[in-house]
Amino acid sequence: MATIERTQSGHVATLTINRPDKLNALNAEVLAELRATLAGLVTESTTGDPGCATRAVVLTGAGKAFVAGADIAAMAAMTTTEAARFSEVGHALCAALEAAPFPVLAAVNGFALGGGLELALACDFILAADTAKVGLPEVTLGVIPGFGGTQRLARRIGLGRARELVYTGRMVTAEEALRLGLVNEVVPGAELLARATKVAEQIGAVGPLAVAAAKRAMLHGSEIALGPACELERQAFAGLFGTEDQRTGMAAFLAKQKATFAGK
């Protein structure tokens, strides 16, 4: 049975991790299928009809969890070599989420623990249900986060706060996660998917080439000094001039009309 369900509405794709009996725990099968599904979306968006391409993705989980973590039963029997490979696959998936040419929004509908929170942290931003609980509890199992959690959490909320969460392994509520800057917005659980979809649709309605360029500039710029980062922005800004989207957007503005972007 497929562990990833994809639905499409206009320019928005919704990917649902569908392993509710295991709280959507990540095993090798789920990681591989999610990576393949994401790769398919990227291929469609870069080689297919730009007017029909996915421009934003909502990632969520089936049932009462987003992802409750990695599959502990599977990990318990791993050798050092197998653990290294498992971590490598998780890191590759998170890197692919960050590098996708469209934003990915995590709609955290319940528990997002361990690998689940690491998956959400690799998304562009996180919306959470008011009942969600998040954390990196790996130290309670005698290990540490293995899919980038020690690095992405610190970059999102600051080193001191990240250390406290990683060292204690404690879970935090959605409201505390909002105060920490870990999530962008908290909404009632029944409204989460609709809210995430609405945000994704807002992104899908603007210039997709511009959004992709902004995502690349912000991702790569955050890793280097301000001067070179601003040079990245300058090049990306200039490169968008002469595109059909740039002409369409500015002409629509001057005509006081709403632009419809072709992605060209």
Q: Which of 118, 175, 176, 233 is the catalytic position?
A: 118
Residues 6+ apart with CB under 8 A from 9: 197
Residues 6+ apart with CB under 8 A from 121: 94, 148, 149, 152, 153, 156
- Which helix (H) or strand (E) segment holds residue 108: the answer is strand 104-108
Structural tokens at position 144: 């540490």
Q: Which of 138, 164, 175, 223 is the catalytic position?
A: 138
Distances (CA, A) of 229 to 111, 220, 225, 240: 35, 8, 6, 17
Instruction: State yes or no: is 118 an active-site residue.
Output: yes
Instruction: State yes or no: is 223 an active-site residue.
Output: no
How many residues in the chain? 264
φ, ψ (nearest 5 deg) of residue 10? 60, -125
| 228, 86 contact by CB (below 8 A) | no
φ, ψ (nearest 5 deg) of residue 47? -120, -15
Catalytic residues: 118, 138
